[in-house]
Structure 1
Amino acid sequence: MTPDAIDDVTSFDDLGLRPELLRALGALGYEEPTPIQREAIPLLLGGRDLLGQAATGTGKTAAFALPILQRMPEGGRGEEPLALVLVPTRELAVQVSQAIHRYGRELGTRVLPIYGGQPIGRQLRELQRGVDVVVATPGRALDHIGRKTLRLDSLEMVVLDEADEMLDMGFAEDIEAILQDTPTQRQTVLFSATMPPRIDAIARSHLRDPERVQIEREPAAPGEEPLIRQSAYVVPRAHKPAALGRVLDVEAPDATIVFCRTREEVDSLTETMNGRGYRAEALHGGMGQEQRDRVMSRLRNGTADLLVATDVAARGLDIEHLTHVVNYNVPSAPESYVHRVGRVGRAGREGVAITLAEPREHRMLKTIERVTKNRITVEKVPTVADLRARRLELTRAALEESILEDDLEHFRVVVDTLADEFDVMEIAMAAVKLAHEAAGGAADDQEIPDVPLRAEREGRPRRDQPRDDRRPRTPTRGMTRIFIGAGRSSGIRPQDLVGAIANESQLSGRDIGAIEIADRFSLVEVPDHATNEVISALRQSTIKGKKPTIRRERFEPR
């Protein structure tokens, strides 16, 4: 298919897929191919090797799964697989296997995931019966090859999925050994989110004149663009467990992954967070597969709400209700930060990425900002007063929901009896107090020390703190500063202002300039051309439930 013909592809029908696959895609609700599918599927159907750069969420699984299924014979299949898909983790092996099974249901395709930690007996039985597609982690695939239970003589296609992660996890030698054992005339497909030199080396050694396809994550539809709030807290090492608890208490997430550097740190922090009343689970490489399965089951069914994990152990996980990602330490590489943050904000949902940085790690934060071109707002750790206010707010919300939704009539006799002796307001306040304490409302009394950044120690204000109100600085060239009549005393935070502007105007978070928050007002820089639009949009909306004064700042040069 020529480039012009690829541009004309608007449906799966245009790709020339067999009817059984088209029916399966229709039943799954797939209406049109994604960019990676439009470009990769015709090349693979034409027999070309492929080197693809595509991130999770771009539709790459179907991009290689459908061509695999397209070549499945109508009948008379043998015992040996026609395709082998190598993936970095057990979780991804299961996901890819399930996807291929769904697409190939009408074809009766026999798909088998094989990975370490699972009893090998079942794998041996299924391989002996015969399979069409094997989805495997490299270590377990090599184990079966050594046992002669996985024979690759009939292999027509090999796929390396998330190749960069497999190399990061130390599978380079295993991959080389597996590829050496496959037929020389096989078709080879390599997908990777990044393209370090090691990936190019594998491509030169094992792919034949491959076509290169590079696809960025497909942008969300208008109105569905995910808002990932990225913030950081500078905290001394000794206070990091308390700071994490304080931040999560205020955020009240549905489900969170906290990334740590070592197994020891994972175990220690998990114990600490359980002591604070969280339902925390640990996940690291020192755990067996049965333990990992139990942990993921608890997280997915809501029995646990906090997963403390190392990077390697958490790779390949897809937790649908995940709302928060926390870096317990600043990642050593911007790529790690990007991978972690990408776990939230999928499918149009909002997400939060939080980093706890020690003072010496502040420089690395700036490096990540520069490389990713995303602003990471440095905030103050919530105070005891902030935590108390947040817990009272949650109690109020719970009471409001009960008033609106619950049948309270059978409690009236209690109120009537007490009303003979006490004022109704006193009865209500006592009931609120009991509800607040029952919900864990006892406040943490330990204040966490604020760590001034180097700029503050040298007398320069931090970006998220107000300057001297009497000496406003000149706006950045090309930007106009907007005055918002609400500030710190109203609970306004930088992310509140960024969210309000991004949600109500055509600007994204990256377009917004410096933010200064004083006690009673805030100043936000926006591009000159968008000033009127932003002012008009904000005047018709609310910030933290209020409609503050919105106008251009009356700046007078000094």
Structure 2
Amino acid sequence: MVEDMSDEGPGFADLALRPELLKALSDLGYEEPTPIQREAIPPLLEGRDLLGQAATGTGKTAAFALPVLQRLQEGSGETPSALVLVPTRELAVQVSEAMHRYGRDLGARVLPIYGGQPIGRQLRALERGVDIVVATPGRALDHIGRGTLPLKGIAMVVLDEADEMLDMGFAEDIEAILQDVPEERQTVLFSATMPPRIDGIARRHLREPVRIRIEREAPAAGEAPLVRQSAYVVSRAHKPAALGRVLDVEAPTAAIVFCRTREEVDQLTETMNGRGYRAEALHGGMGQEQRDRVMGRLRAGTADLLVATDVAARGLDIEQLTHVINYDVPSAPEAYVHRIGRVGRAGREGVAITLAEPREHRMLKTIERVTRSRITIEKVPTVADLRARRLELTRAALEESIMEDGDLDRFRVVVETLCDEFDLMDIALAAVKLAHESTGAAADEEEIPDVAPRPERADRGRREGPGRDDRRPRRQTGGMTRIFVGAGRSAGVRPQDIVGAITGETGVSGRDIGAIEIADRFSLVEIPEGAAQEVISALRRTTLKGRKPTVRFDRDEVPRRR
């Protein structure tokens, strides 16, 4: 039985958000708030300062973005009313895009400002007027020093990933910015950890803050299911291919693939059906009759893959279910525990697999610690692994046919006739080849590149020294060179697409990437010389906006490298 949707917990509509925000969330497919959103949004809407501890991927962005947007007034002034500080350019772009999506119907003007982007573009946008600025501390301080980022209208300041900003040496910049913003403001601080330095900032700059920490309960002793737990670290661009590769190797009887939003469920279902899987979507946007039909097909065996959101999958009891797959790392350990609890019941063994992007590796460690279980990091199956597995399945099918099918004598005349001309082993090999190919199991030709998890903060090293330059994230040693990427504006390529492709497929971080120039049909990207060949090779293997671009050294750079 599918659980009655009327029994669900509080939704976004219960949080007193503006109708425009509720519509945007519904259009994006968000069905219910995460724990941090349920706890943080009400006090923020009341104007309280807040100190929140939450790991990456728990929904922090919406937890502060929705209250920020709620406070926007019609016909906002020319100066920003909110300032969001984040540690990296990638996060600045990510938060800015999220706020654009949530505040589309409000006409919210959101501007990301960060190093590595031409400052002229930022200056022109600030002159035209913005409502919300999402900035890295260094670039924010540069604009404040120039007088181009006025702070007189700032009513709300958000520090996101505060512990990471401190680890990267931005403590003095943050203090300087907080000293300059109006004293009568609302201040919000989110951090994955709460070291003494964070507590010190909170004591100095937050007024009687609401303190939120999402408590996580480990499963009781003896309740852990018999589940083999593993994870694959893979870039977002290769996730659909990696999912297909893992499904082919695992060959589940029936599997649930969990996604975060309805939109992602629909897109992934279409993608997997296009790859030859019998996939069905299940989410809160479907009526009860439609949901029942989906479950009927799954139980009847006419579908073997269910792609669902957490809300829609509540109350499901599928006896033949063998695999649970997290297409993204769950936003909280509790969600992970609930998901994997759907397999391994009644003494049966089950399999839980998670596809994690490099930035989500830390959340996997948090889940391991809270659940007290081991999640093995495995390599994505190679083309050779896939071919070997498919041959195993062909062998098993032939073995079953030999053991159980008593009607083989009618084919004996074919074999005996062929034996007059060919060797018996050659005949058997040809028959196996035909049986194997008849399954339509042609292995993928392209390897999925290995992606290393991003290191834990403890491994990143601390930057010491009193000088301002010592407090900045350092580029890789050596000079910079420029590469040519044969895709530009006409293909819809944006700087964040290029940054994401490089950081997701190589060991180069976003802070190591220099200027990015995007023309109509190509782009030029500055990268460290020492990593140039790695980046070129990686970009040649990946796709940008659905196509493989030409990637090479920029012609102006080649003579310098000889």
Shorter-normalised TM-score: what interval? 0.3 to 0.5
Task: Kindly indicate whether structure 1 or structure 2 has the higher relative contact order, using CA contacts under 8 Å at least 6 residues apart.
Answer: 2
Normalising by structure 2, we get a TM-score of 0.45
Normalising by structure 1, we get a TM-score of 0.45
